[in-house]
């Protein structure tokens, strides 16, 4: 029995040994890949991998599949020494799964797989523009961020002209030999090894062009911007320019502003110097005509009004004038300074009577209303549409102030000071003050805010911190301050006259009393002399910076809400209610050097415009006033607080 068992064991052992000799190596010797990564290309994917150190495959089998019926599956093999391969002829924007298997003598190892989606990398040009010239068009573009494209191709239609550019660094090209007054379409593509990019398109119509871009008919003292036409000057890259305006003035600025002092025809010549030091010149004739208007009735599209307290303010470019009205409502009129035509009227149902207007650096107009039954702060776009509106706690007669960082400060007759975000009218903060009337607001160079009421003058930081308070002063309502250095000047009610306040600590420097009624609208010249008027009287005051009298002038015409404007040559202009006059006073001694009849009552401040004319609003019959313009050929003094509001935008901010 034992012999039989031993014999069987021997047979089994022998059979097993024979089987072991015929089998391949165990599967754990068929090393799969250690890592596999895929990088998307344009209609291709680059695979790279890392094998285990002991792996000795004969080759690699690569296969790929996708879930899209429009994309074929496939496979390929690469030699054993490879550590990567590129799979081409794929479909862009389709997700593929790639698998790589090492093949050994004993068979295939397990798969290592990854997914990737090929993308179109034939980037086009961007920002294509077409600028028309005389029988030519200049194309400009931004080249793609790729080093793979080999050239540009431009197709010009009609005609189907094809232009190939081998210099891939180019970002502009002049297409010449075109027909004037014919519209052309330009298609620009980048050519890549895998094909073309999508086309960028632009259209232009060539025609006769001029060397200077400017309005060729101007009014005297109308400021115009002159720009050379780079489609005229195509001799190279411009290094510098030189302008001769034909009136004795010249400029080396690229785009200068210039105004002509007299009527006539002027030949403006520009000479450009190219980077290769060659020059080219061109010229244009400018016809300068006289002022086109001197009086416009405040009556437009059925909206009317007259002007009380407010002076005209101007857009940043000086081309548009704004004036609010009082009675029967408070409409804001926008007037083209050159033509005298109304651009628009913004309807406000209640009277303004102070409260603006004020123009921001972006052209937005701000107007407050002397009524609390409606929204009484408006922000108006330059085209006359409403930007935003807000209703505060009381009527607003005080002229607002605008900070350099975009905060509008409004003071209501509830004596509440508001800080408003000009972007949307949101209230940043508010502060209740003593007094029954809010009278005046101003901002100094440091951004500190000053508010005057019927009981006190306050100073605040931009974050609402009270810096000081001066009690016992009754600031005139519908009024304004003036700032000069570290001194604030405030006009007061009931014969109290003028007070000078040290803004560093709020102490009173001095007061200058008057003998009539309420004092109005202080302004300061560059010597520090302060000028103001008195409501209901006929007196203009000039007071030195130390509080002493310089002169007092009786103009023999009643002054009500009258505010002056100061020219650079030392003439103080002011309007009167009785006898309807405009006076110009010599600031040295108060003597009259200019007098002009207005024809209607002036109960408001005057302005000197950027066109060297004097402007004022009036009160006429049937509650319809006018805007009057006077040719004084003077420039506003800009080195001091020389006008109601401190500047011709009425910002009430110290510069």
pLDDT confidence bin for 648, thresholds 50/70/90: very high
Type and span of the H or E element at 328: none
pTM: 0.75
Residue spans of beta strands (DSSP E) within 478-518: 481-484, 487-491, 498-502, 508-512
Query: Using only C-alpha atoms, what is the Rg of the chain?
Result: 41
- Whether the per-residue pLDDT at 335 is higher than 60: the answer is yes
Residue 132 neighbours by CB under 8 Å, 6+ apart: 204, 205, 206, 207, 209, 231
- Residues 336-383 have pLDDT tens digits of 999 999 999 999 999 988 889 999 999 999 999 999 999 999 999 999
Report long-range pairs for 126-129 (Cβ below 8 Å, ≥24 apart).
126/200, 128/186, 128/188, 128/200, 128/201, 128/202, 129/202
pLDDT at 15: 34
212-289: CATH number: 2.60.40.10
Please state which of the four CATH numbers 3.20.20.80, 3.30.450.190, 2.60.40.10, 3.40.1390.10 is assigned to the domain occupying 126-204. 2.60.40.10
| pLDDT (0 to 100) of residue 24 | 38
Q: Which two tokens stand for residue 639?
A: 């080195």
Measuring CA to CA, how many Å separate 494 from each of 84, 222, 473, 514, 554? 95, 43, 11, 9, 19
pLDDT tens readout for residues 217-228: 999 999 999 999
Q: Residue 110: which region, alpha, beta or left (left: phi > 0; alpha: psi -120 to 50)?
A: beta
pLDDT surpasses 90 at 441: yes
Q: Residue 353: its pLDDT value, please?
A: 85
Q: What is the mean pLDDT of residues 259-271?
A: 97
**pLDDT per residue as tens digits for the range 300-316:** 999 999 999 999 999 99
pLDDT level of residue 434 (50, 70, 90 thresholds):
very high
Long-range contacts (CB closer than 8 Å, 24 or more residues apart) made by 380-384 = 380/332, 380/346, 382/315, 382/320, 383/344, 384/334, 384/343, 384/344, 384/345, 384/346
Grade residue 36 by pLDDT with cuts at 50, 70 and 90: very high
- On the question of a cis peptide bond just before residue 170, with omega within 30 degrees of 0, the verdict is no
Cβ atoms of 141 and 189 within 8 Å: the answer is no
Q: What is the mean pLDDT of the chain?
A: 93
Spatial separation of the C-alpha atoms in residues 558 and 548, rounded to whole Å: 24
Residue-wise pLDDT for 276-295, tens only, equals 999 999 999 999 999 999 99
Superfamily of domain 27-116: Immunoglobulins (2.60.40.10)
pLDDT one-digit tens code per residue, 604-618: 999 999 999 999 999
How high is the pLDDT of residue 194? 84
State mean pLDDT over 444-469.
98
- Joined tokens for residue 481: 């301050």
Q: Is the pLDDT of residue 392 over 60?
A: yes
Q: Which CATH architecture has domain 295-631?
A: 7 Propeller (2.130)
Rounded percentage of the chain residues whose pLDDT exceeds 70: 96
Q: Check if 27-116 and 295-631 are the same fold.
A: no
CA atoms of 35 and 23, how far apart (whole Å): 29
Instruction: Note the pLDDT tens digit of each residue in 185-242.
Output: 999 999 998 889 999 999 999 999 999 999 999 999 999 999 999 999 988 899 999 9
| Ranges of each domain in the chain | 27-116, 126-204, 212-289, 295-631
């Amino acid at each position: 029995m034992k012999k039989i068992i031993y014999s069987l064991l021997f047979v089994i052992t022998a059979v097993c040994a024979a089987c072991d000799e015929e089998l391949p190596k165990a599967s754990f010797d068929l090393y799969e890949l250690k890592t596999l990564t895929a990088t998307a290309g344009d209609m291709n994917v680059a695979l790279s991998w890392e094998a285990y150190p002991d792996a000795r495959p004969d080759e690699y089998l690569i296969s790929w599949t996708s879930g899209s019926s429009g994309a074929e599956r496939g496979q390929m093999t690469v030699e054993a020494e490879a550590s990567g391969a590129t799979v081409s002829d794929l479909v862009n924007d389709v997700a593929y799964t790639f698998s790589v298997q090492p093949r050994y003598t004993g068979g295939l190892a397990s798969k290592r797989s990854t997914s990737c989606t090929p993308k179109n990398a034939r980037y086009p040009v961007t920002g294509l523009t077409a600028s028309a010239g005389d029988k030519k068009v200049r194309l400009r573009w931004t080249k793609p961020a790729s080093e793979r494209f080999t050239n540009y191709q431009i197709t010009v239609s009609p005609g189907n002209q094809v232009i190939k550019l081998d210099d891939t660094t180019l970002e502009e090209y002049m297409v010449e030999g075109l027909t004037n007054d014919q519209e052309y379409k330009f298609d620009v593509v980048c050519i890549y090894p895998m094909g073309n990019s999508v086309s960028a398109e632009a259209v232009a119509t060539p025609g006769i062009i001029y060397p200077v871009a400017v309005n060729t008919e101007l009014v005297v003292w109308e400021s115009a911007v002159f720009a050379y036409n780079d489609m005229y000057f195509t001799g190279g890259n411009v290094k510098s320019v030189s302008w001769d305006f034909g009136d004795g003035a010249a400029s080396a600025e690229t785009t200068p502003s210039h105004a002509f002092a007299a009527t006539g025809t002027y030949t403006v010549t520009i000479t450009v110097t190219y980077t290769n030091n060659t020059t080219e010149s061109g010229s244009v004739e400018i016809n300068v005509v006289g002022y086109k208007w001197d009086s416009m009735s405040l009556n437009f599209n059925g909206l009317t009004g007259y002007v009380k307290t407010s002076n005209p303010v101007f857009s940043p470019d000086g081309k548009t004038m704004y004036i609010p009205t009082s009675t029967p409502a408070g409409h804001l009129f926008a007037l083209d300074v050159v033509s005298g035509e109304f651009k628009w009227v913004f309807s406000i149902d209640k009277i303004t009577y102070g409260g603006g207007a004020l123009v921001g650096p972006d052209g937005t107009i701000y107007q407050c209303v002397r009524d609390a039954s409606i929204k009484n702060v408006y922000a108006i776009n330059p085209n006359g549409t409403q930007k935003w509106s807000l209703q505060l706690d009381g009527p607003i007669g005080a002229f607002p102030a605008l900070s350099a960082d975009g905060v509008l400060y409004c003071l209501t007759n509830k004596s509440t000071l508001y800080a408003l975000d000009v972007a949307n009218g949101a209230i940043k903060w508010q502060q209740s003050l003593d007094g029954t009337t809010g009278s005046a607001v101003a901002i100094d160079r440091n951004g500190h805010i000053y508010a005057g009421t019927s009981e006190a003058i306050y100073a605040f930081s931009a974050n609402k911190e009270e810096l000081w308070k001066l009690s016992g002063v009754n600031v005139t309502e519908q009024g304004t301050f003036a700032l000069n250095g570290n001194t604030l000047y405030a006009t007061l009610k009931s014969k109290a006259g003028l007070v000078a306040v040290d803004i560093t600590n709020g102490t009173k420097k001095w007061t200058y009393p008057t003998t009539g009624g309420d004092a109005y609208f202080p302004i300061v010249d560059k010597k520090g002399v302060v000028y103001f008027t008195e409501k209901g009287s006929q007196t203009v005051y000039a007071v030195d910076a130390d509080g002493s009298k310089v002169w007092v002038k009786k103009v023999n015409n009643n002054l009500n809400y009258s505010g002056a404007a100061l020219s650079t040559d030392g003439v103080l202009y002011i309007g009167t209610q009785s006898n309807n006059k405009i006076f110009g006073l010599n600031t040295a001694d108060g003597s009259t050097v200019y007098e002009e009849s207005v024809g209607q009552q002036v109960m408001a401040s005057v302005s000197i415009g950027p066109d060297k004319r004097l402007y004022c609003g009036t009160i006429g019959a049937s509650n319809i006033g006018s805007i009057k313009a006077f040719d004084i050929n003077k420039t506003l003094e800009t080195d001091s607080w020389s006008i109601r509001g401190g500047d011709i935008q009425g910002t009430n901010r110290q510069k």
